[in-house]
Structure 1
């Protein structure tokens, strides 16, 4: 009985990577999947096992471990980060003059995809109105950011006569996101006096101009979410993977150890000197990409056991720069909590009926 319980526990906790298949793949740990095994969900056990460890973090990216949860919960965080954490993005583009070779529609699309540095938590969602009314509505200081792009290309009077370099011949011939300027609405200049509102990156190329060509554009940024349009998504990528686990089943040394090391990503397998011989050891399974290259070698495929820890997720969040990654993760957690409360309230109201 003890052996059966041990096998079931291994099945629940590990995904085994075989030569031709992947074993113990289950999309959920919902109770009742394993007959004769007590796998009822327990809140105290969950609180004891669940943890979040931040591995690395800077202004643009973050990597953290989320341990002790079901894959469905982990995936909900990923989906919320991609599609439900709000941001500010260019929604309306009013083109008063565009004599460049870029069509109005293409230019509007390019402008809409430029990440705008503005904290969406300080703004309200814009009221939903008809398309005709929306085109005429200017917006207010609580729901709209106004930006302006006004630039004209001209010849450089100081250019060398025989020069053919556009950098020398023309002024303002390259239009970058740094040329977009914030135009405060109402009291925004006072409210955001300590904040720099504008494009996250200054070097995004928008268009190229030649002498006489110009752009005169007003843009309105509003609050939205990624499920409405990708331009509102606050992350460049949000992904997760299961923690790899590599176990050596027997002693490996010499030339065989060298080849074993080459089968894995750099830093996964190391060699240590034991009595003058190089012996293989697992240094850091986390770095493995699970390519299963070792299983191609007949004399090596039985010396290692490849697995992944089912409830240990390695998350990677890369922000577009609108908000720091740790803020995005915090906001995603708040949104999931709100969804849970709404669901519980619906259940309570149903019971009352």
Structure 2
């Protein structure tokens, strides 16, 4: 496996990878989506709620607020010594008390652990009118995307084959039709040539190939060269998401190896 041109920009991580089976990339993608644990509100104890929003809808909305997660501090409930009953190692709480008139935002949640805060402080929760009040305690636990989508650490996790666009300049008559029909504007006209501006943006639609009357353009695909893209929700840094997924895959592979060896004994 060869990884090149890695780019980390905020919540986005992109890297090119060569000499790796497509099945492995798909396994990595599925592991990121379904196995990497994150914190999310799992239980809400409501003391007062005189808003127009019923308790069930309020609890559901709270569960979808992304929370910053520290995997070095918190354990999944099934791995905790408390057996999932709830302790400082596997759960944390956020409280809120608000009176109207006001709009309740995610920034109004007061965390027990200052490291566990909403990714976006301005997520609206509910609008309180005069004489309306809201008070509750929310319990956050680690969970996985395979159990509920609110625990998925990414909004985008994908891979694509990197295309190789070849333009025969001798055949090209500079009509410019290929430039006009290209949806992502991968092709541009540079003086007396049509060139590829950004090969990564190509969506393999073949619109340029079909528009070229001189058959000067060909698009080839290298099934051994891929672009892997991760865009996190902010709960975990994207490089941490990738590291966690790789470690999970390593543990699963080791466990499978041990079970296979046990069958042969």
User: Given the two structures, how large is their TM-score scaled by the length of structure 2?
Assistant: 0.91
Query: Which ranges in structure 1 are unaligned for 5 or more consecutive residues?
Result: 1-49, 154-169, 185-194
Q: Secondary structure at the match of 2:90?
A: coil
CA distance in 2, matches of 1:272, 1:247: 16
**Could you tell me which residue of structure 1 aligns to residue 21 of structure 2?**
70
**Could you tell me which residue of structure 1 aligns to residue 251 of structure 2?**
338
- Bigger drift between 264-273 and 119-128 goes to 264-273
Report the alpha carbon displacement of residue 53 of structure 1 after superposing the two structures with TM. 2.2
Which of 54, 62, 66 aligns to 1:115? It is: 66
CA distance in 2, matches of 1:152, 1:319: 34
Query: Which ranges in structure 2 are unaligned for 5 or more consecutive residues?
Result: none
Q: Secondary structure at the match of 1:121?
A: coil
User: For the Cα contact (< 8 Å) 2:77–2:141, is it kept in 1?
Assistant: yes
The CA RMSD over aligned residues, in Å, is 2.1
CA distance in 2, matches of 1:255, 1:53: 34
**Could you tell me which residue of structure 1 aligns to residue 208 of structure 2?**
294
**Could you tell me which residue of structure 1 aligns to residue 153 of structure 2?**
234
**Could you tell me which residue of structure 2 aligns to residue 260 of structure 1?**
178
Residues 63 and 303 of structure 1, relative CA distance in 2, 3 Å threshold: same
User: Given the two structures, how large is their TM-score scaled by the length of structure 1?
Assistant: 0.69
Report the alpha carbon displacement of residue 254 of structure 1 after superposing the two structures with TM. 4.4
Which of 141, 144, 148 aligns to 1:222? It is: 141
| More helix as a share of residues | 1
Q: Secondary structure at the match of 1:199?
A: coil
**Could you tell me which residue of structure 2 aligns to residue 180 of structure 1?**
109
Query: Once the two structures are superposed, what CA deviation does each residue of 1:32-51 show, in whole Å capped at 9, x if it has no partner?
Result: xxxxxxxxxxxxxxxxxx21
User: For the Cα contact (< 8 Å) 2:177–2:211, is it kept in 1?
Assistant: no
How many residues align? The count is 262
**Could you tell me which residue of structure 2 aligns to residue 347 of structure 1?**
260
Report the alpha carbon displacement of residue 244 of structure 1 after superposing the two structures with TM. 1.1
> Are 1:203 and 2:117 counterparts?
no
CA distance in 2, matches of 1:179, 1:242: 44
Report the alpha carbon displacement of residue 148 of structure 1 after superposing the two structures with TM. 0.4
Residues 228 and 121 of structure 1, relative CA distance in 2, 3 Å threshold: farther
Report the alpha carbon displacement of residue 111 of structure 1 after superposing the two structures with TM. 0.1
Report the alpha carbon displacement of residue 333 of structure 1 after superposing the two structures with TM. 0.9
Report the alpha carbon displacement of residue 81 of structure 1 after superposing the two structures with TM. 0.8
CA distance in 1, matches of 2:173, 2:210: 19
CA distance in 1, matches of 2:120, 2:141: 19
| More strand as a share of residues | 2
Query: Once the two structures are superposed, what CA deviation does each residue of 1:218-240 show, in whole Å capped at 9, x if it has no partner?
Result: 01111111101111111111111
User: For the Cα contact (< 8 Å) 1:146–1:221, is it kept in 2?
Assistant: yes
Query: Once the two structures are superposed, what CA deviation does each residue of 1:312-348 show, in whole Å capped at 9, x if it has no partner?
Result: 1211111111111011011111111111111111111
> Are 1:142 and 2:86 counterparts?
no
